[in-house]
Amino acid sequence: MTPETIATLIAEIEAGDPLDFSGLAIDAEGARRLMAAHFCELDRQLQDFGLPHEQRLEMMAAIAAHAMVENMLLHLVRLRRDPCEIGFRAWMERYGIGKAGRSAR
Which has the higher per-residue pLDDT, 48 or 21? 48
Domain boundaries of the chain, sorted by first residue? 1-50, 54-105
Section 21-40 average pLDDT: 91
Residue 3 pLDDT > 90: no
First to last CA, the chain: 45
In tens, the pLDDT along 9-19 reads 888 888 877 78
CB distance 6 to 39 below 8 Å: yes
CA gyration radius, the chain: 17
| The pLDDT value given to residue 76 | 81
In tens, the pLDDT along 76-96 reads 887 777 766 566 677 677 777
